Amino acid sequence: MGLSWKERVFTALLGVAATSGLTMLILILVKATNVFLPADTKFGIVFDAGSSHTSLFVYQWPANKEKDTGVVSQALTCQIEGPGISSYASDPAQAGESLKSCLEEALALIPQTQHQETPTFLGATAGMRLLSQKNSSQARDILAAVSQTLSKSPVDFWGAKILTGQDEGAFGWITINYVLGMLLKYSSGQWILPEERMLVGALDLGGASTQISFVPQGPIGDQSTQATFRLYGANYSIYTHSYLCFGRDQVLRRLLAELAQRSPVGPVRHPCYHSGYQATLSLAPLYESPCVHTTDSLNLTQNVTVEGIGNPGDCVAALQRLFNFSSCKGQEACAFNGVYQPPVHGQFYAFSNFYYTFHFLNLTSRQPLNIVNDTIWRFCQKPWKQVEASYPGEEHWLRDYCASGLYILVLLLEGYKFSEETWPSIQFQKQAGGMDIGWTLGYMLNLTGMIPAEALTQWRAQSYSIWMAGVVFAVLTLVAILGAAAVHFFWTQD
């Protein structure tokens, strides 16, 4: 006796279920390919404790790295309220307290599960270098206070220290070349070293120091000015030097003190202040800095009247007296103060106070040197009342932009030996590639070489079309099984 129609339907549905189920299994197992899931993201925190203020930066990079160096990007920047940490010499605990608000903002960004493995570092620059010279115990107390605050937070605290000027210059050079794609670039689905790299120089002007860093054409003649490092599998050797007491704030202090020493009686006639400007100042705070040297003829307990005369020629002459150019006579490879420097070579990026001063003067569009010079001179010759009316809300630094602009010209042209021919090689920038230019990113790149890389996670996956076919066969299998069950149920009811 043959099979009934119910038995034939039931057998057919079971056959369909078995066939489609087997097909789905083959698609899943045989047609799958090996894929690598994206690497976990690592984070790092760096505090830049400058002479006038402190900034926090959060950086991130894939955990697998490229040739032992992380591909780092900037995730957050936070400006800490108040002055630089060197200003808390009389109350070191406040230096630590000042960091907390920005640190909380950083920790809110970083996943909580990664807090304890996030390297955190505080680097203090020229302001703390000066304080360490003046009073080493106060500098130690401040570093101890910020270390106590950061070590209590749920991060991997790597320490707080005073950076050397050479480190600050070298890390700044790494930063600018990295963000411009000179150290690494993405091409054809992978990270590679650029074939034709035009490495650029770095010019940094802080509040207390200035740095110059670049790759010279020939060998570096003074090993103390050479910095070497390895990034993305390549070795680098650059010239770098830092000049303490030649940052903007300290130069302005030294300039005012030098003019006051030349006018021990009567008002101080300041050629870099605009005509019509007048103020009564105390000289005593000027001499708190190790950069400013006093003379016996000055009475520091008395206030002095300072009058602006708006004479850019005399201002340049006064600024030149802050340099020792005579120590380089007869030496080609020399900048000033007897410091070795090979001739400048290549393109340069000028940032920090180089940028802020020239941005105020509207001189960041690579204008020719004669236009830059004329613009600054015309600004210096404007009466103070006209300047005040033209720049409302800029009162804090307004009187100093003339001196700052002329100082930059003296430093770059007479100090670092740029010329009218090489001037167009300088670009004044605050950011490049969407990231702030400074030493912190260069430090983090260097630090990633000390953090173990993590291998990419391997997984089995299908293409979209194979995945869709698998879904169709899975649904068909389920429908066939449910149909067979229904036929069997009604079969048994009969």
β-bridge partners, 214: 239
Cα 140 from Cα 123, distance rounded (Å)? 13
Residue found by looking up tokens 């007897």 in the block: 338
Length in residues, the chain: 494
Is there a contact between 124 and 163 (Cβ–Cβ < 8 Å)?
Answer: yes
Q: CA-CA distance, 174 to 164, in Å (whole number)? A: 16
Beta bridge pairs of residue 162: 124
How far apart, in whole angstroms, are the C-alpha atoms of residue 449 and residue 445? 7
How far apart, in whole angstroms, are the C-alpha atoms of residue 346 and residue 199? 8
Contact 88, 142 (CB under 8 A): yes
Residues contacting residue 353 through CB under 8 Å, at least 6 positions apart: 205, 206, 207, 247, 248, 404
Query: Are the C-beta atoms of residues 169 and 315 closer than 8 Å to each other?
Result: no
Catalytic residue (one of 117, 168, 258, 395):
168
**Kind of pairing, strands 303-308 and 268-270?**
parallel
The reply, when asked if residue 404 is annotated as ligand binding, is: no
In whole angstroms, give the CA distance from residue 464 to residue 31. Answer: 11
Task: Give the residue from 401, 493, 443, 400 showing the smallest Cα distance to 160.
Answer: 443
Separation in Å, CA 243 to CA 33, 91, 203, 294: 58, 28, 12, 21
**Secondary structure (3-state) at 383:** coil
User: Is there a catalytic annotation at residue 97?
Assistant: no
Q: Which residue has the tokens 């996956």?
A: 461
Q: Which residues does 190 contact at the CB level (< 8 Å), separation at least 6?
A: none
Q: Is 209 annotated as a binding residue?
A: yes
User: Do the Cβ atoms of 36 and 463 come closer than 8 Å?
Assistant: no
Q: What angle do CA 19, 23, 25 make, to 5 degrees?
A: 120
Q: Is 364 annotated as a binding residue?
A: no
C-alpha to C-alpha distance for 97 and 94, rounded to whole angstroms:
5
Tell me whether residue 41 is annotated as binding.
no
- 338 marked among binding-site residues: no
Question: Annotated binding site, which residues?
Answer: 207-211
Question: Annotated binding site for ATP, which residues?
Answer: 207-211
List active site positions. 168
